[in-house]
Amino acid sequence: MAETTQRAEILCVGTELLLGDIVNTNAAFLSRRLAELGIGVYRQVAVGDNPQRLCDALAACLERADIVVMSGGLGPTKDDLTKETVAKFFGRPMRLHQESLETIRDYFKKTGRVMTQNNEKQAVMPEGAIVFPNRYGTAPALAIENESKTVIMLPGPPVELMPLFDEEVVPYLEKKCDAAIVSRNVHFFGIGESALAEKMDKLLTESENPSVAPYCQSGEVRLRVTARSDDKESAAAMCDECVKRIIESEVGCFVYGIDTDTIENALVMKLHESGLTLSAAESCTGGLIAKRITDIPGCSDVFFGGCVTYTNEVKQRLLGVKGETLDRYTAISAEVAMEMARGVRERTGSDIGISATGIAGPGGGTEEAPVGTVYLGISTEEGESFRRLSLSSNRSREFIRTVSATNAYDMVLKYIASK
Amino acid sequence: MAETTQRAEILCVGTELLLGDIVNTNAAFLSRRLAELGIGVYRQVAVGDNPQRLCDALAACLERADIVVMSGGLGPTKDDLTKETVAKFFGRPMRLHQESLETIRDYFKKTGRVMTQNNEKQAVMPEGAIVFPNRYGTAPALAIENESKTVIMLPGPPVELMPLFDEEVVPYLEKKCDAAIVSRNVHFFGIGESALAEKMDKLLTESENPSVAPYCQSGEVRLRVTARSDDKESAAAMCDECVKRIIESEVGCFVYGIDTDTIENALVMKLHESGLTLSAAESCTGGLIAKRITDIPGCSDVFFGGCVTYTNEVKQRLLGVKGETLDRYTAISAEVAMEMARGVRERTGSDIGISATGIAGPGGGTEEAPVGTVYLGISTEEGESFRRLSLSSNRSREFIRTVSATNAYDMVLKYIASK
């Protein structure tokens, strides 16, 4: 592999970023794309619409990086100063770029809007700039190459920046690169980040290429494996070998998917593969189990729907849970969870019914069932079973509900795997 | 009020930021909060889990700023190096902080999880650090004061960082800045951000203290009013006067709540006040209407639950929608929406039934019902009515589902208001 990996930094311009009025999604998008191109991003910086501070930040970025990708400050107003600042930095005069002016005129004609004088400013470019026409707005993107350094300037609005980068800048950068990066995500459920890190300590510490890093979110953990090589194929092969090592290790039993995005995605995929159908009966999760499944387009072939039964009476009316069961065991019980799962399975006609009943808090806990106590039920033609969760009572309502839903999905995945 | 405005920079740590795996919402949140405190943010920087580059970035931030707020790198794993790097920078030894160790032990005991050796690392602090206990996770936040400079370190996960900052760091900074900050959020539905900005142009442009800023999210808009004064009382009075002006203006009719957080919060409050009960029948929203209502603790007195009916068969089985209606009008129709609303109201025994049926996409659109077509139904003892949405077909599935649910809540709020 060529060891001349290019270093990049991202420099975003806009006072609205520093005021926290907008979240910097551009930085994440650009980082992801640059990583895919094999360009390492070493720093993301955001500064306001202030020419001196912008110039200082640019100088610092260029001292460290080969490529600086900038976003924002290409608009028509007076505080849009990115091009002017970069031109001054490299000692290049500004010139009207005739082609850009025509493209901007065309854009206004097509969108039926009136072009104002200050839009002409958007067609003025530093001498020698490589101009990338913008079909999504009025400000063209541009690049300046100066000795070994490259500065790429993109318009700030994500709806313009993202397609413009993919269509114009990616082909431009691909030529510059001689390395490719491939990543795989290994998704775990049922093991915490610390426990996973301890068991995989050697791999996490020693892995450089591929590198292995843990990420944690609402009771789930994933390991991201990233390999860099000359071409996509060999980088992918390096990744796959590392993923295989993880799957074959002692933590392999906790892996629910590779690059599956979320556990509900893995679930919908497994339901499709197995030809089984699902429905859900929800008390404490209040629709979250169904909501996360129906986030996934195309889930309607395998997910029939279900019931949200937030009161005892509605559990009886919609799901046929017996009053006797509720009286004897209370609503927070394995028995009620299993009757709910059976009820929803029978009433919707699905192969599998899942259910959740518990105390999501912050109020409502008792000595027998403190906040965080959740019973999950599963019903199939083979019968019913349940899982009891005792989550910490100082966890948020959102966390308790999310982890409950995730556990319900895990129960269905385990059932499908056992078939 | 002291006019010695402090300068801050934000320094976020995490290779996952530089890989673009996560969007840096912390930077926006911290910027907003610091602005409210009267502390100007001049730069946001993100670097990876690399001690040398972290140290360089910290040095550069401290050269320019009085306060550096850092997020990330306080976790239990070996690549979490923020505290160690800051300690080394200021030449402070690391010491076990007994109180933090006990808090972390308690946290594990309460959550019923096993504390691993590496969690102890989270209780080791630079000498002289001010420690802010973390009720939302295992890593305490901390501050180091060194001559005129202050470095604040916060855990990376936003669910920990945000409440921890508001509860512990804001009071700490208020003392430092000799100022008190009070904010109010005025929530709107049914008016777009541009229209609101135009009608309130004078207020938005001229307001400095209190400042008024618009925020827009999934079809809702809010104005955040922030006042800064010597003490909480006078800041609150300044806020309240400004809020009153907004409510009494021509856009006042679109306000659904003050500091209600979300429209579903306002809805649950209004249901409580009116003594009315609600249930929901969901097709395209797939549980989201119920999920957002049941996000709110204490909703069970007014929300009975409902059905997620993702297939035509289940609409008939669970809600009693007539096959004839489905055949004649299709599932995406006002008639089916109203039968769903009636069905869920009658079956759960609630006062009000709401429903949603439509095409959330990205697939499934037809000429008559393109992606973004949604019918919302409402049923009460007085009868049924509906609302038709024609959202743009290039909106995301998530947006279409969210706006549909929000409109359903708005229909119920309007019904309650009309009583």
Residue B416, pLDDT above cutoff 80: yes
Q: Which of B164, B143, B156, B140 is nearest to B67 (CA)?
A: B143
Cα of A339 to nearest chain B Cα, Å: 17
pLDDT band at B1 (very low <50, low <70, confident <90, very high): very low
Q: How many CB atoms lie within 10 A of CB B36?
A: 19
pLDDT score recorded for residue A2? 41
Alpha-carbon distance of A418 to A408, in angstroms, equals: 16
Choose the mutation target among B261, B308, B359, B392 for the interface with A, i.e. most A CBs under 10 Å. B308
Cβ of B136 within 8 Å of Cβ of A47? The answer is: no
The model scores a pTM over 0.95? no
For the question of an ipTM over 0.90, the answer is: no
In whole angstroms, give the CA distance from residue A140 to residue B18.
Answer: 26
Q: Where are the beta strands (DSSP E) in B76-134?
A: 94-96, 124-126, 130-132
Q: Hey, of B11, B19, B309, B400, which one would you mutate to test binding to chain A, going by the most A CBs within 10 A of its CB?
A: B19
Q: Which residue has the tokens 């800041």?
A: B235
pLDDT at residue B2 tops 60: no
- pLDDT, residue B37, reads 85
Interchain CB contacts (distance < 8 Å): A and B: 285
Q: Is A24–B28 a contact, with Cβ atoms under 8 angstroms apart?
A: yes
* Whether pLDDT at B359 is above 80: yes
A404/B359 Cα distance (integer angstroms): 28
CB atoms within 10 A of CB A153: 27
Residue A157 main-chain phi, psi, to 5 deg? -60, 125
Cα dihedral B50, B34, B167, B175 in deg (nearest 10)? 110
CA angle B391, B395, B400 (to 5 degrees): 60
Sorted by sequence, the CB contacts under 8 Å of residue B75 that are 6+ apart come out as A193, B122, B139, B155, B156
Tokens 């142009």, residue? B201
Query: Which residues fall within 8 angstroms of residue A291, CB to CB, at 6 or more apart?
Result: B285, B286, B287, B288, B290, B291
Q: Is the peptide bond before A210 cis (omega within 30 degrees of 0)?
A: yes
Strands B180-189 and B149-154: unpaired
User: Which of B42-46, B206-210, B329-333 shows the lowest per-residue confidence on average (mean pLDDT)?
Assistant: B206-210
Give CA–CA dist B345/A22, Å, rounded: 41
- CA separation for the pair A214, A178 (Å, rounded): 28
Handedness of CA A408, A410, A415, A419 (dihedral sign): positive
Comparing CB atoms, the residue among B18, B310, B397 nearest residue A44 is B18
A23 vs B contacts (CB less than 8 Å): 23-25, 27-28
Contact across the interface for A318 and B348, Cβ inside 8 Å: yes
The C-alpha of B191 sits at a distance from chain A's nearest C-alpha, in angstroms, of: 19
Contacts of A24 in chain B (CB under 8 A): 23-24, 27-28, 44
Chain B residues with CB-CB distance to A305 below 8 A: 282, 286, 307-311, 314, 318
Sign of dihedral through CA atoms A90, A94, A99, A105? positive
Q: Which residues of A touch B33 (CB under 8 A)?
A: 20
Q: How confident is the model at residue B145 (pLDDT cuts 50, 70, 90)?
A: very high
Q: Which residues of A137-151 are buried (b: 16+ CB within 10 A; e: fewer)?
A: bbbbbbbbeeeeebb
Chain B residues whose beta carbon lies within 8 Å of the beta carbon of residue A300:
310-311
CA B222 vs. chain centroid, Å, equals: 12
Going by the DSSP 8-state scheme, the letter that residue A275 receives in this structure is T
Residue by residue, DSSP assigns A149-161 as: EEEEEE-S-HHHH
Q: How far apart are CA A250 and CA A27, in angstroms?
A: 37
Q: Which residue in A17, A35, A279 is closest to B20 by CB distance?
A: A35
Q: What is the per-residue burial (b if ≥16 Cβ within 10 Å, else e) of B181-219?
A: bbbbbbbbbbeebeebbeebeebbeebeebbbbbbeeeb
d(CA A111, CA B7) in angstroms, rounded, equals 43
Pair of tokens at residue B123: 């209780």
Q: Best interface-test mutation with B: which of A17, A182, A194 has the largest number of B CBs within 10 A? A: A194
b/e A330-359 (16+ beta carbons within 10 angstroms → b): ebbbbbbbbbbbbbbbebbebbbbbbbbbb
**CB-CB neighbors (< 8 A) of A45 in chain B:** 43-46
Number of helices (H) and strands (E) in chain A: give both, helices first.
16, 17
- Chain A CB contacts of B29 under 8 Å are 20
In the block, which residue shows the tokens 């306060």?
Answer: B67
pLDDT of residue B4: 53
Of A25, A214, A314, the CB nearest to B23: A25
- DSSP states along B124-137: EEETTPEEE--SSS
Q: Mutate which of A212, A228, A294, A409 to test chain B, going by most B C-beta atoms within 10 A?
A: A294
pLDDT in tens, B305-341: 999 999 999 999 999 999 999 999 999 999 999 999 9
Chain A neighbors of B30, CB-CB under 8 A:
20
Q: Please tell me the distance from the alpha carbon of residue B402 to that of residue B387, in angstroms, as a whole number.
A: 15
Q: What is the CA radius of gyration of chain B?
A: 26
DSSP B10-25: EEEE-HHHHTTSS-BH
* Helix B334-348 vs helix A312-319: crossing angle, to nearest 10: 120
Would you state the pLDDT for residue A95?
Answer: 94
Is there a contact between B20 and A30 if contact means CB atoms under 8 Å apart? yes
Give how far B206 is from chain A: nearest CA, Å.
17
Strands of B149-154's sheet in order across: A130-132, A141-146, A149-154, A67-71, A7-13, A40-47, B40-47, B7-13, B67-71, B149-154, B141-146, B130-132
Residue B44 per-residue DSSP state: E
Within 8 A of B349 by CB-CB distance, chain A residues are: 313-314, 317
CB-based contact B224:B183 (threshold 8 Å): yes
Q: What percentage of chain B reaches a pLDDT higher than 90? A: 68
**For strand B94-96 and strand B124-126, is the pairing parallel, antiparallel, or unpaired?**
antiparallel
Determine whether the interchain pair A197/B77 forms a contact, defined as Cβ–Cβ distance below 8 Å: yes
Residue B41 to residue A29, Cβ atoms within 8 A? no
* Residue among B18, B112, B286 minimizing CB distance to A42: B18
In DSSP terms, A80 is beta-bridged to none
Instruction: Select from B28, B286, B313 the Cβ nearest to the Cβ of A291.
Output: B286
Tokens matching residue A319: 């799901």
Which of A46, A307, A391 lies at the smallest CB-CB distance from B305?
Answer: A307
Q: Of the candidates A43, A41, A24, A23, which has an alpha carbon nearest to the alpha carbon of residue A32? A: A41
- How far is it, in rounded angstroms, from Cα B16 to Cα A77? 34
Chain A hits for B107, CB-CB cut-off 8 Å, are 392, 394
Interchain contact, B116 vs A43, CB within 8 Å: no
Asked if A310 contacts A342 with a C-beta cutoff of 8 angstroms, the reply is no
Residues 6+ apart with CB under 8 A from B405: B285, B288, B289, B292, B356
Helices and strands (DSSP H and E) totals, chain B: 16, 17
Query: Cβ of A91: how many Cβ atoms within 10 Å?
Result: 9
Of residues A42, A288, A314, nearest to B287 (C-beta): A288
Instruction: Test A213 with B79 for CB contact under 8 angstroms.
Output: yes
A21 min Cα distance to partner chain B (Å): 7
pLDDT digits (tens, 9 = 90+) for A371-410: 999 999 999 999 999 999 998 777 889 989 999 999 999 9
- With a cut of 70, list the residues of chain A below it in pLDDT: 1-5, 111, 178-179, 218
- Which of B22, B159, B297 minimises the CB distance to A363? B297
Q: Strand, helix or coil at B265? A: helix
Question: What DSSP letter does each residue of A102-143 carry, written as one string?
Answer: HHHHHHHHHHTPPPPGGGGGGGEEETTPEEE--SSSS--EEE
